[in-house]
Amino acid sequence: MKKIVLVKCQMISNQNLDPGDAKCLVAFMRREGEFARYKDEDAHIIGIVDCGGCEGNKNRVLTSLALLKLQLAALNEKPDVIHIGTCIMKFCKRKDDLIAAIKEKAGIEVVEGAHPYAPPTIFGS
């Protein structure tokens, strides 16, 4: 069984623009977007952390992941893969530094992306 952790954008989350992380969770349930890789696998999302915010630095997300590791260890759980949210992949100016730091420290696979539901334009079709 694959156990997955999501890293999402704090700014979008704090502005109530990503209520309940619905797009990531629906895409995971439907096995769409980057979650299609789990179509024939038993997989579960076991944690969601935010990036630490635009004013933060890459150490904030690493601290969040380390704290999640402690919480999951108490539950006898360990993630196999980290997905970087579509919100970060599409809109974050710091994404390259953020992803590099996560890949350097995670010790598990890091997948760049989650759901396929980001619209190409705001008002266009």
pTM comes to 0.90
CB-count exposure of residue 121 (10 Å: 0-12, 13-18, 19+): exposed
Give the CATH fold of the 2-112 domain. Answer: Rossmann fold (3.40.50)
Residue-wise pLDDT tens digits, 30-46: 999 999 999 999 999 99
Residue-wise pLDDT tens digits, 85-118: 999 998 899 999 999 999 999 999 999 999 998 7
